[in-house]
Chain A
Amino acid sequence: MGYDILTRVIEFTESDLAIDSRMGKVAGLLVKEFPFDSCAIYAWDDKEKLFKLNVAAGSRKGRVESYGQNQGLPGLARKTKKHLEAYKPGPEGILWQETEDRGLKGFKGACVYPLKDRQRWYGLLYLKSAKKVELSPGEKKLLEVISRLLVSNFKCKHHSQSLKKAGTKIKDIHSRLTQAEKLIVLGELSATFAHEIRNPLVSLGGFAARLKKKIEPDSPFNVYVDYMVNEVRRLEQIINNILRYTEQKEAVFEGTDLNNILSESLAFFSEVFKKHDIEIVEGFARKPLRVMADRHQLKIAFDNLIANAIQSMEKGGKLTVSTSREKSWAVVDLTDNGGGIEPRYINNIFEPFFTTKKYGTGLGLDITKRIITKHKGRIDVDNKMGQGVTFSVKLRRA
């Protein structure tokens, strides 16, 4: 019978099935061909120091999900590094009685085969029977060989997992490289942008502003001039964003009050709030919220969040800005009621160049996230479709 079983085990372990399914088939075969009622294959988790049930076949009785490194027969096998047999009663009865193993309840015989090589443990094979069984030397040898095949299978599993990890890493590196390439091109472009586009824009916007001063306040042309002034400012803002993005400036950290930075950011937008009929509700922590931060960069981060909120409420709305303490964190919550972000976009919003707006570089939130990350803080989004979005920024308190 030995060779038949071995052939089938090899067929299973070499099949195209998923590795765990292959082992499941082997477990089923062992229950069928050997005088055992239950077969379980455990995987060794080196981090948690546990044998965890990987696959099982046969009786569900006494099935234990995991064994600690000193628990039950598996624990003993781990300690002695040997294969064990235990019977009740019998000459090996002492082992049975001295080993506390809740998995043995209802069984009269059990054996454990370590699944390991010289370097490491992969798991173990645990076979149990309701009756006392005595294995012939040939059967024992066969089980040893099968155990080795199982070890190969575990090795396969580990390798395929590390391959998968490597694959993910390569993908990640690839996407970063693509992004870096984009950045280099953008860096070169933005330098051209800065000079070739900013200069004419300054003239255009500057003269429009002068025109505004010259025409009567009630002239119908005011509308046109306002458009000119505002559109030029918007274009300038886009250039600033692109330039900031390509400018890899070192942060200069100093003790600073978060409330103060936010107030400045809000003041900066006061005219725009008025224009779009946006109500500001401030709920600042009463005492200053000290953080170690690059003031200039944090302001850019908040400016971007506020600008985003404004863009979602161009026809009016309410922006709630609050700061608070949460253990060792200083927290800023910015909530708009601009209807929220479509759920399918929510995972993309921090990606560079991603935008749902007709005009926009798609860099604002990416810049913000980079700045917050540089400050070892975090930024979370709470999106309520149909209502609005809350951006929460957490920074370590100084």
Chain B
Amino acid sequence: MKKRVLVVDDEEGIRLLYKEELEEEGCEVTLAASGEEAIEKLESDSIDLVLLDIKMPGMDGVEVLRKVKEKWKDLPVILCTAYPHYKNEFGTWASEAYIVKSSDLRELIDTIKNILEMKQ
């Protein structure tokens, strides 16, 4: 069965890019443009992995991460952000991985694949 990835990012371009790349890698992709929308999607869909931006207007990534870990304890979350600075703060806290956004998507795709494989 196809793995379902939830991409949470307020930037439309990023959402579209990740969606296309991940679909090409054989994933099914659900999109959310805000933290609030992400929680809604998590409630309604069955998700295998969350790709989460940190800085978003309204409910930010940190809040989403906290909610996810309260409610869906075993759901892996990859923080994917423009800031390298918070790696130490969030990297070891709750999320499975911390990736600094790059136009070279190899690291991101590899990390997603690894986490999904380990989960199986």
| A232 contacts B by Cβ under 8 Å | yes
Q: Mark A195-230, 1 if CB is under 8 A from B, else 0.
A: 100111111111111100000000000000000010
Contact between A206 and B11, CB atoms less than 8 A apart = no
Q: Which chain B residues border A194 with CB–CB below 8 Å?
A: 82-84
Q: Mark A92-116, 1 if CB is under 8 A from B, else 0.
A: 0000000000000000000000000
Q: Name A201's contact: one of B55, B84, B85, B103 (CB within 8 Å).
A: B103
Q: Which chain A residues border B55 with CB–CB below 8 Å?
A: 195
B30 CB to nearest A CB, Å:
19
Most B-side CB within 10 Å, residue of A194, A204, A243: A194
Most A-side CB within 10 Å, residue of B11, B14, B17, B105: B17
- How many interface residues does chain B have, given as a range? 10 to 19
Q: Which chain B residues border A207 with CB–CB below 8 Å?
A: 13, 17
List residues 1-55 of chain B with CB under 8 A from any CB of chain A: 11, 13-14, 16-17, 20-21, 55
Most B-side CB within 10 Å, residue of A199, A209, A229: A199
12 extra interface residue pairs, beta carbon distance < 8 Å, beyond A191-B83, A194-B83, A206-B14: A195-B82, A195-B83, A198-B82, A198-B101, A199-B11, A199-B14, A202-B102, A202-B103, A205-B102, A206-B103, A232-B103, A247-B85
How long is the Cα–Cα vector from A233 to B106 in the complex, in angstroms?
Answer: 13
Which 4 A/B pairs are nearest by Cβ-Cβ distance? A205-B103, A203-B13, A198-B82, A206-B17
A160 CB to nearest B CB, Å:
48
Contact between A199 and B13, CB atoms less than 8 A apart = yes
B119 CB to nearest A CB, Å:
25
B37 CB to nearest A CB, Å:
18
Q: Which chain A residues border B13 with CB–CB below 8 Å?
A: 199-200, 202-204, 207
B-side interface residues toward A, CB under 8 Å?
A: 11, 13-14, 16-17, 20-21, 55, 82-85, 101-105
How long is the Cα–Cα vector from A202 to B102 in the complex, in angstroms?
Answer: 5
Contact between B17 and A203, CB atoms less than 8 A apart = yes
Q: Name A206's contact: one of B82, B85, B105 (CB within 8 Å).
A: B105
Contact between A199 and B82, CB atoms less than 8 A apart = yes
A-side interface residues toward B, CB under 8 Å?
A: 191, 194-195, 198-210, 229, 232-233, 236, 240, 243-244, 247
Contact between A204 and B82, CB atoms less than 8 A apart = no
Q: Name B105's contact: one of A209, A232, A236, A247 (CB within 8 Å).
A: A209
Grouping DSSP codes into helix (H, G, I), strand (E, B) and loop, the A interface class, with mixed when no group exceeds half, is helix
Task: Count A-B pairs with CB separation below 8 Å.
Answer: 62
Q: Which chain A residues border B101 with CB–CB below 8 Å?
A: 198-199, 202
Q: List 12 A-B contacts (CB under 8 A).
A: A191-B85, A194-B82, A194-B83, A194-B84, A199-B14, A199-B82, A202-B17, A202-B102, A205-B102, A207-B13, A207-B17, A210-B21
Q: Which chain A residues border B11 with CB–CB below 8 Å?
A: 199-200, 203
How long is the Cα–Cα vector from A209 to B103 in the complex, in angstroms?
Answer: 8
Q: Which chain B residues border A199 with CB–CB below 8 Å?
A: 11, 13-14, 82, 101
How long is the Cα–Cα vector from A233 to B102 in the complex, in angstroms?
Answer: 8
B101 CB to nearest A CB, Å:
5
Closest Cβ neighbor of A209 among chain B residues: B103
Most A-side CB within 10 Å, residue of B21, B55, B85, B102: B102
How long is the Cα–Cα vector from A210 to B17 in the complex, in angstroms?
Answer: 9
Closest Cβ neighbor of A210 among chain B residues: B20
Q: Name B102's contact: one of A191, A200, A236, A244 (CB within 8 Å).
A: A236
Q: Which chain A residues border B103 with CB–CB below 8 Å?
A: 201-202, 204-206, 208-209, 229, 232-233, 236
Closest Cβ neighbor of A237 among chain B residues: B102
Q: Which chain A residues border B82 with CB–CB below 8 Å?
A: 194-195, 198-199, 202
Q: Name A243's contact: one of B14, B21, B84, B105 (CB within 8 Å).
A: B84
Most B-side CB within 10 Å, residue of A194, A195, A202, A243: A202
Closest Cβ neighbor of A197 among chain B residues: B82
Q: Which chain B residues border A204 with CB–CB below 8 Å?
A: 13, 103
Q: Which chain B residues border A195 with CB–CB below 8 Å?
A: 55, 82-83
Q: Name B104's contact: one of A191, A203, A205 (CB within 8 Å).
A: A205
A87 CB to nearest B CB, Å:
80
A242 CB to nearest B CB, Å:
11
